[in-house]
Amino acid sequence: MPTFELNIFSPRRGHDDSYSFDFERDTLSVSMGPRRALCTWREDRDPLWAGEPLARMLANESICPPEDFEDFVCHVWQAWRRGDIQGEDAGTELRALVDWLNAITRAKPRTDFWRRYF
């Protein structure tokens, strides 16, 4: 099953951190170091996220993802799971999503006023 290592910029640390996106048939996990968010497939229901929320993992690094970021990641996994896209294409789509997240993060206001906030 495919695993994608993607770099996400951390304003807290001032450099990219490597996140692992692991696609399995019944689970999707996103991890960075010991932190892990897990999404489980449920037939005829929405997938269920458990573990540490992905948004909290990112917020810990001073990243403010779009509200639906978990859903976007899940959308790629579900497309792969259905066979709509193959592993390489899933990696391409995840990279596009992370590139967008990094662009948002790098564009955060950098004045002293906003540095105190996020």
Sorted by where each begins, the domain ranges of the chain are 3-117
Q: Are 30 and 37 in contact (CB under 8 A)?
A: yes
Q: Are 85 and 97 in contact (CB under 8 A)?
A: no
Q: How confident is the model at residue 7 (pLDDT cuts 50, 70, 90)?
A: very high
Q: What is the pLDDT of residue 110?
A: 85
The CATH number of 3-117 is: 3.30.2210.10
Q: How many residues does the chain have?
A: 118
- Whole-model pTM: value is 0.91
Closest CA to 28 of 83, 76, 62: 76
